[in-house]
Amino acid sequence: MNRLINASRALPTPDPQLTVAYSPIKLPMEGRQPLELRLTAPATGYNLPIVILSHGFGPSNYIPSKDGYAPLAQFWAERGMVVIQPTHASSRVAGLDPDLPAGPFFWRERVNEIRAILDQLDQVELQAPTIAGRLDRAQIAVAGHSFGGFTCSLLLGAKLQSEDFSDPRIRAGILLASPGRGGTDLTPESAARFPFFDLDFSGIRVPTLVVCGADDTPHFTPRGPEWHADAFHDAPGGEALLTIKGVGHGLGGIAGWDARETETEDPDALEATRRLTLAWLRTRLSIDATAWVRSQSALEQNAASIAKVALAP
């Protein structure tokens, strides 16, 4: 029960089920400290799809780590997903020294960390024994918020100076308030500081859901909130654009309840984000073929005040 939600209650979603969590799972990384993960999964069931959730580079000390994004990770796990959350090299609390040459953003290392998870799923299962043998390794998605969306864009097929970072094991992606086009679309200061934002999204052919806050105010660009929708417009795999009304970069609170990342705490917007992204995942990862269609219909008929969906032509 959630007494704080109203319009989003009309959006269909499965009842929550018991979950188990393991933290910290540690994976070796060559030449550096181990990669720490949190894994949250349904307590029962088999052939469970995997979602790797990539955190952003927000202002909090602990939210940008495996210990953040509980509102999203727990919701998905309670409804059938195995959610794996790495503490990326860019994390303030447990990442690498930000004064290293690749710091503080470690954008390339973040990509390598997600690839290391995919390479070492056997090791993940050894450290999380109740999920051993229950993962569906043919159904893997990545989801990332903000700078985590940038990380996922690369893994989904976006190119930087023609370099390809894609991983064929990834079957679907969700980009949550992810950076848009770089280069001349950025302010001069941001273009100088973030040359790696200059992505070519046309290489993304994997089915991708792009999620934006209608009131987002990106400070990297003179453009408005539509900047965060660039991947939907540019990527052949950009399947749908979900716009959450009345909120900005935090999408109502996905990074954490009462967190600094949550510039507008809106339980209804958060619930809509959780339910609609879950419905898309359940359809894309072959759990429920009609979940996404049913959710779109319910949104249009009963909850249009809270969000809207645009589909690729």
Which amino acid would we find at residue 242?
Answer: L
Write down the pLDDT at residue 28: 97
Whether the link from the prior residue into 104 is cis, omega within 30° of 0, is: yes
Write down the pLDDT at residue 163: 96
> Helix or strand or coil: residue 40?
strand
- pLDDT (tens digit per residue) in 49-68: 999 999 999 989 999 999 99
Model confidence at 84, pLDDT cuts 50, 70, 90, reads very high
Write down the pLDDT at residue 224: 95
Q: Residue 170: is its pLDDT beyond 80?
A: yes
Model confidence at 213, pLDDT cuts 50, 70, 90, reads very high
CATH classification for the domain delimited by 7-311, as one of 3.40.190.10, 3.30.565.10, 3.90.79.10, 3.40.50.1820 = 3.40.50.1820
Q: For the chain, what is the radius of gyration of the CA atoms?
A: 18
Strands (E), 99-193: 135-145, 159-160, 163-164, 172-176
Number of C-beta neighbours around residue 130 at 10 A = 13
Write down the pLDDT at residue 210: 98
- pLDDT (tens digit per residue) in 232-275: 999 999 999 999 999 999 999 999 977 888 888 999 999 999 99
Write down the pLDDT at residue 176: 98
Q: What is the pTM of this model?
A: 0.97
Q: Delimit the domains of the chain by residue range.
A: 7-311
Write down the pLDDT at residue 262: 85
Q: Residue 205: is its pLDDT beyond 80?
A: yes
Write down the pLDDT at residue 31: 94
Write down the pLDDT at residue 119: 98
Average pLDDT over residues 31-39: 97
pLDDT mean across residues, the chain: 97
β-sheet with 135-145: strand ranges across: 19-27, 35-42, 82-86, 48-54, 135-145, 172-176, 208-213, 238-244, 307-311
Write down the pLDDT at residue 259: 83
Model confidence at 114, pLDDT cuts 50, 70, 90, reads very high
